[in-house]
DNA sequence: TTTTATCCAACAACGTGTCGTATAATGTCG
DNA sequence: CGACATTATACGACACGTTGTTGGATAAAA
């Protein structure tokens, strides 16, 4: 095996080992030793790749966020553009999102859950907010406080709703969930409550 | 000094020491040793009160949440009732909230910030959701998944928006903020974006 | 064969949590 | 009221586990 391949494989093994532990343990309980036992490498090798347990988490998060950025700032806007002239928030238009969640759902639900990482939430929200402000016609509005509040409102709401839905995704179909979200975004919360 | 007074004082000293460290350090970097040095007590004494650093954080959070619950489930509903018949979301009606944030703002901003505690966010959201579901006419809806999602959506949105607005509360009047929120809740996000 | 890079065993340092013990506060009886 | 017994609070010392590093062995690349 070539050096570069080997390095890739070891790094990946450490990431995977960390994640399998992170599923049921909070970060602070995950020791470098435990990661290495699972990854099948010496503990010293770990320090060739990462400085500590947290830097593994960060690497996982960055990888996920790259994926998210691609989905949210490339595929989704392209899909929305296809729904021109009006913005149709139907299943087809939102396909990039359902695709993202079906592939990476577990990562989101754990990272934004009760044992998750607030720093990830912050970075994730920033990404969502960037997308939202991109959709504004007037770029000057991006620095407007009202726009920031609306963006923060929306990003927080979307992330929270996902966390609530995701564990029940088998009994509550994604289409129904999407429609509920669309209704909440386009008509507001109060009408949705009355319709329940 | 009496036993009970002493116990109270030591416990408080440990909490304060922890918080002064937590201002600039993430939890995992806060050692029991450092807490005790600041609190001026022996490390063994620490374990008479708390099991580890995290349990100090939890105690601080619980104390704060007791305060939040009192504000949100007693003072705020009472204040809203006084604005009868219509719900006026003005500075006077929302006084319990601004009071809460002016007194405990630092706690919220740190606990819900990038180095904060996702578990606190969870408990805080639960409290807000309880308040929201209390306002529902039909108690049976409380156990409905759609209702849960809407509640989570709303609670997350409100907390996020508040955190975004609060640091700028001096330049952005509470009335304007309240009106924005009302618009977001009653008409949805999309109309609000177009209106910006 | 030389060079480069990955991998590993062993070491010292540190933080952790738990002992047994000393000291101070409270309760009880002469 | 004062001395002794009881309780509970604070502390020093210990054994243990984890950490991060260093120098050397092994295998791939030049």
pLDDT (tens digit, 9 = 90+) per residue, A141-192? Answer: 667 899 999 999 999 999 999 999 999 999 998 889 988 998 999 999 988 8
Q: pLDDT under 70 in chain B at which residues?
A: 1-2, 137-142
pLDDT digits 0-9 by tens, A29-45: 999 999 999 999 989 99
- DSSP H helical ranges for chain A: 3-22, 32-39, 43-49, 53-70, 76-82, 95-111, 118-134, 145-165, 174-187, 189-195
Tell me what pLDDT residue B21 has: 94
Task: Output the distance from B10 CA to D13 C1' rounded to whole Å.
Answer: 23
Tell me what pLDDT residue B166 has: 84
Tell me what pLDDT residue B140 has: 67
Tokens, residue A88: 């149709």
Q: Any CB–CB contact under 8 A between B40 and chain A?
A: no
Determine if residue B188 is left, alpha or beta; phi over 0 gives left, psi from -120 to 50 gives alpha, anything else beta: left
Report chain B residues whose CB lies below 8 A from the CB of A191. Answer: 186
Query: How many angstroms separate the Cα of A69 from the Cα of each of A97, A105, A177, B9, B123?
Result: 11, 15, 22, 50, 30
Measured CA to CA, the distance from residue B51 to residue A117 in angstroms comes to: 22
Tell me what pLDDT residue B118 has: 95
Q: Any CB–CB contact under 8 A between B67 and chain A?
A: no
Residue B187 CB neighbour total at 10 angstroms: 17
> What is the overall mean pLDDT for chain A?
89
Residue with tokens 């705020």: B76
Asked if A160 and B150 come within 8 Å (Cβ–Cβ), the reply is no
Q: Any CB–CB contact under 8 A between B47 and chain A?
A: no
pLDDT digits 0-9 by tens, A55-86: 999 999 999 999 999 999 899 989 988 987 87
- At residue B83, the 3 state secondary structure works out as coil
Q: Give A98: exposed, middle or buried? Use CB within 10 Å, 0-12, 13-18, 19+.
A: middle
C-alpha torsion A145→A148→A149→A152, nearest 10? -160
E strand residue ranges, chain B: none
User: Is the overall model pTM greater than 0.75, yes or no?
Assistant: yes
| Local structure of residue B28 (DSSP, 8 states) | G
Tokens, residue A108: 């989101």
For residues B70 and B86, the answer to whether their CB atoms sit within 8 Å is: no
Tokens, residue B87: 């719900």
Q: List chain C nucleotides near protein: any atom < 7 Å from a Cβ.
A: 5-10, 15-20, 25-26
Tell me what pLDDT residue B20 has: 94
Q: Give A107: exposed, middle or buried? Use CB within 10 Å, 0-12, 13-18, 19+.
A: buried
Q: Is the dihedral of CA B107, B109, B110, B113 positive or negative?
A: positive
Using CB atoms, which residue from B28, B117, B184 is nearest to A150?
B184
Separation in Å, CA of B1 to nearest CA in chain A:
38
The answer, yes or no, to whether residue A140 has pLDDT greater than 80, is no
Query: Which residue of chain A is at minimal alpha-carbon distance from B190?
Result: A186
Task: Output the distance from A42 CA to D22 C1' rounded to whole Å.
Answer: 15
Residues 6+ apart with CB under 8 A from B194: none
Q: At what angle do helices A174-187 and B145-165 cross, to 10 degrees?
A: 40
Measured CA to CA, the distance from residue B97 to residue B188 in angstroms comes to: 23
Separation in Å, CA of B107 to nearest CA in chain A:
15
pLDDT digits 0-9 by tens, A98-129: 899 889 999 999 999 999 999 999 999 999 88
Tell me what pLDDT residue B1 has: 61
Residues 6+ apart with CB under 8 A from A123: A61, A65
Q: Any CB–CB contact under 8 A between A173 and chain B?
A: no
């Amino acid at each position: 095996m070539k050096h570069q391949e080997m390095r890739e494989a070891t790094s990946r093994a450490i990431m995977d080992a960390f994640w399998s532990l992170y599923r049921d343990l909070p970060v602070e309980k995950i020791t470098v030793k435990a990661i290495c036992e699972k990854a099948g490498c010496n503990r010293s090798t770990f320090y060739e790749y990462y400085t500590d347990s947290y830097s593994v988490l960060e690497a996982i998060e960055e990888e996920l966020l790259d994926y998210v950025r691609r989905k949210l700032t490339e595929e989704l806007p392209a899909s929305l553009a296809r729904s021109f002239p009006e913005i149709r928030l139907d299943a087809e238009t939102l396909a990039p999102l359902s695709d993202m969640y079906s592939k990476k759902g577990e990562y989101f639900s754990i990272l934004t859950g009760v044992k998750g990482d607030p720093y990830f939430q912050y970075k994730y929200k920033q990404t969502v907010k960037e997308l939202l402000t991109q959709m504004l016609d007037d770029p000057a509005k991006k620095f407007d406080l009202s726009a920031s509040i609306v963006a923060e409102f929306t990003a927080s709401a979307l992330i929270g709703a996902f966390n609530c839905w995701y564990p029940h995704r088998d009994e509550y179909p994604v289409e129904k969930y999407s429609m509920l979200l669309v209704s909440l975004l386009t008509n507001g919360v109060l009408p949705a409550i009355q319709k329940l």
